[in-house]
Amino acid sequence: MVTTSSQPTDAAEIASASAANNPNPIAKEDSMIEVDDVSFSYDMGKTNVLKNISFNIPAGKVTALIGPSGCGKSTLLRCLNRMNDLVDTSKVTTGQIRIMGQDINASDVDPIELRKQVGMVFQKYNPFPKSIYDNVAYGLRIQGIKNKSKLNEAVEKSLQRAALWSEVKDRLNSSALGLSGGQQQRLCIARTIAVNPRIVLMDEPCSALDPIATARIEELIAELQEEFTIVIVTHNMQQATRVSDRTAFFYLGELIEYNDTATIFANPSVRHTEDYVSGRFG
């Protein structure tokens, strides 16, 4: 079925084709995150890993980022909470990222304060080698909260919201590393939402889990979207259709198409998107 002629080889070509038809732009007022012409480089601007990305992420919805491996999904996600600051030579070369209207790369923005509002769940579950309780309480403790009953309450609430409470309530003081993989990932979600962020970023949160554990996380995401704006990177097309409201397709560092998830999968306007979502490459 695959013909070489139908495979666009140049991402820029594809992008220019798509730029014209963005049929469902999010109104500025409804968007939580505005990505405005962002280019990003890991080597002080020599080569750009992200190229002139522009799109708005709506509040209170789940937005999925999809695309073949290496296209820059994780990079974009880590731009949103400035985790890329850890790479000394990294740099946003053009454009702005605004969260709730505020340019997050402005000189007066403290990345620590930003990260309290923009939480992150990683690809490989990474609870601290501490007790379950201490893991969930960690974010609050580093904010200086010592009050025991306040912590207890927050820990219980977060574990409940992460649908983990009933499974661990009797062993809060045992090591988090004794939990199963899926439980550990849900614990990481509990840990993230314990500090009450506005946004939760998830980078392929199920890629290390079995199908049952994956299903539980997906359910959880559906519940959490009522309270949080969620941005999720996923490799799994079905997952994107199951959990997300909107989907952005990336290819070689460029945003190819962005639309309602249903539209992207049922009726993509760019040929390349169609090839990808139907599994013809990637």
Ligand X SMILES: Nc1ncnc2c1ncn2[C@@H]1O[C@H](COP(=O)(O)OP(=O)(O)O)[C@@H](O)[C@H]1O
Q: Summarize as ranges the residues that interact with other proteins (CB under 8 A).
A: 81, 83, 86, 112-113, 115-116, 119-120, 122, 124, 126-130, 138-139, 141-143, 188, 191-192, 195
**Residue 138 binding result from Mg ion, other proteins, ligand X, none, given CB thresholds of 5 to 8 Å by partner type:** other proteins
Strand partners, 53: 38
Question: Shortest gap between Cβ of 265 and ligand X (angstroms)?
Answer: 19
Paired tokens of 206: 């199920």
Question: Shortest gap between Cβ of 271 and other proteins (angstroms)?
Answer: 37
| 11 CB-near residues (< 8 Å, 6+ apart) | 51, 251, 252, 253, 254, 256
Nearer to ligand X, 35 or 71 (CB): 71
DSSP H helices, 148-243, are 148-161, 165-168, 181-193, 211-224, 237-243
| 228 CB-near residues (< 8 Å, 6+ apart) | 60, 193, 197, 198, 199, 200
Question: Shortest gap between Cβ of 145 and other proteins (angstroms)?
Answer: 12
Nearer to ligand X, 29 or 88 (CB): 88
* Residue 74 is a binding residue for Mg ion (CB under 5 A): yes
Q: Are 248 and 227 in contact (CB under 8 A)?
A: no
x/- mask, Mg ion, residues 34-73, rule CB under 5 A, reads: ----------------------------------------
Paired tokens of 177: 């590393």
**Residue 171 binding result from other proteins, Mg ion, ligand X, none, given CB thresholds of 5 to 8 Å by partner type:** none
Residues lying near ligand X in the complex (CB under 6 A): 42, 49, 69-75, 87
Question: Shortest gap between Cβ of 94 and ligand X (angstroms)?
Answer: 17
Nearer to ligand X, 127 or 253 (CB): 253
**Residue 49 binding result from other proteins, Mg ion, ligand X, none, given CB thresholds of 5 to 8 Å by partner type:** ligand X
3-class secondary-structure state, position 24: coil
Nearer to other proteins, 44 or 142 (CB): 142
Count of other CB atoms within 10 angstroms of residue 115: 17
Residue nearest to ligand X (CB): 74
Nearer to other proteins, 129 or 279 (CB): 129
**Residue 12 binding result from Mg ion, ligand X, other proteins, none, given CB thresholds of 5 to 8 Å by partner type:** none
Count of other CB atoms within 10 angstroms of residue 165: 16
Query: How many residues contact Mg ion, by CB under 5 A?
Result: 1
| 280 CB-near residues (< 8 Å, 6+ apart) | 1, 2
CA distance 214 to 206: 5
Nearer to other proteins, 39 or 184 (CB): 184
Question: Across the chain, where does the E strand assignment appear?
Answer: 31-41, 48-58, 62-66, 91-99, 102-103, 118-121, 199-203, 229-233, 246-251, 254-260
Nearer to Mg ion, 139 or 205 (CB): 205
Interacting residues toward Mg ion by CB under 5 A: 74
